[in-house]
Structure 1
């Protein structure tokens, strides 16, 4: 599958997230501890917010550990909201348009998991996408179709409801085609102000997902740990797997959960898919 991180808080250099932690995302690209695959070398992507409402993105088909441009960029770019993703393809081609995060306007989206038997259900899923949005799909992944389903169901107005409707439609369509467990997902999306993260799977055995604990508490607990003193109290991270072994720094996100991060506020709510027609 894949590994990803979503950061918000005081502006940090991208290399502080991607390279410096003990179990950084670049380390995970070769030696993931908790992923379905140890190696995630089918490309990567970084999205970050700077001077403009629309985020910048940098995506490459190179393995993250081998891309000199990523190291160069990450040593200079500074941002208070960052999405980063390393990819292990579940079958779609290794090409830039299939690398996460995906972007539309101010929105970013990234996904770890898969829509099972995508080749069987793709046509039915794509027909549900808003005709005005469909021409903007650039790649061939199930993850991008998932994103555009959520956009079609009102992601900009109510992200949890839109994702619930998209997952409900995917499950309904998959089961109609005889797929027992249609979706496996951890998803993150943001509009540049708030981040929403979801952990769910049809079989109830979802890929790993964690969030950071309160930075101010960790700062008191580890006064000699320098990285913590450079971060604001509202700093939050949501990650596929912990970036280090600091005791008490990470908590697992429960199954079937939606996590909302806005500033220093983090809210956890149950996540339940909804059939689109019933939700409408």
Structure 2
């Protein structure tokens, strides 16, 4: 499977999140503790929104993140208030640049950990369900990118939680038609550059790990002696496949079959239920 993180808050250098934590995403590319695989070396990607930019920049490579000099160079010089990072362990599709996350279309970014079980059985039907005007923009061969374009087809622009619920409903129905007992496993992050949604769901009810960070003001009260917390913005939020360190009280598990939204004002954590497409 894969590991990923999403950050929202005051602008920070990417390496502050990608490299510096005790169990950073780069460390997880070699030493993941909660994934199916310990090593996630089948490519990586980062995507970020720059100042006054409506669409994100995306950099993706097929080599392992732990040894990529260009990623280290970018991370030390790029500052962003909203970015995605993903390290890949292929579930069967080719190791190629167009199969690396995050995926982008217009102002939207998407990344995924998990799989459509027996994807080869349902690939044709799911591809035919993608809006014909969107289909030419599918570049790779992954189930993850197919999920993204199905969500776009099913209303992501206007109703992200509803579109993802309809996408899941379609995948489960199609999988069941082919005799697949548990068609889908997913943790998904999606953003339009303003709000960020994260989903944890699986057909079996045994989803991959996903965590969100505790509010900074709460952490300051718990750990008043930690200087680095005084420099963090109060609106800083992280959603991660696994915690970036062992600071007590810093990480909270996203409940099974639920989704969260990070947005101006109050964040929300809500139940997630698939819907008929």
Q: What residue is the counterpart of 2:30 in the other structure? A: 30
Q: What residue is the counterpart of 1:256 in the other structure? A: 257
Q: What CA distance in whole angstroms lies between the structure 1 residues aligned with 2:99 and 2:228?
A: 33
Q: What CA distance in whole angstroms lies between the structure 2 residues aligned with 1:122 and 1:262?
A: 34
Q: What CA distance in whole angstroms lies between the structure 2 residues aligned with 1:240 and 1:19?
A: 16
Q: What residue is the counterpart of 1:39 in the other structure? A: 39
Deviations 1:42-66 (A, max 9, x none): 0000011103110111111110001
Give the drift of 1:220: 2.5
Q: What CA distance in whole angstroms lies between the structure 1 residues aligned with 2:241 and 2:265?
A: 20
Q: What residue is the counterpart of 2:242 in the other structure? A: 241
- Is residue 209 from structure 1 mapped to residue 225 from structure 2 by the alignment? no
Runs (5+) with no aligned partner, structure 2: none
TM-score normalized by the length of structure 1: 0.97
Q: What residue is the counterpart of 2:62 in the other structure? A: 61
How many residue pairs are counted as aligned between the two chains? 276
Runs (5+) with no aligned partner, structure 1: none
How do 1:1-280 residues align onto structure 2 when only pairs under 5 Å count? 1-51=1-51, 52-263=53-264, 265-276=266-277
SS of equivalent residue, structure 2 residue 199: strand
Deviations 1:102-151 (A, max 9, x none): 00011000000000101110000001000000000000000000000000
Give the drift of 1:264: 5.4
| Closer, same or farther: CA 245–264 of 1 in aligned 2, 3 Å | farther
TM-score normalized by the length of structure 2: 0.98
Give the drift of 1:232: 1.1
Show structure 1 runs of 4+ deviating over 3 A: none
Q: What CA distance in whole angstroms lies between the structure 1 residues aligned with 2:90 and 2:65?
A: 14
Deviations 1:215-272 (A, max 9, x none): 0111232233233222211111111000000000010000000111103522011100
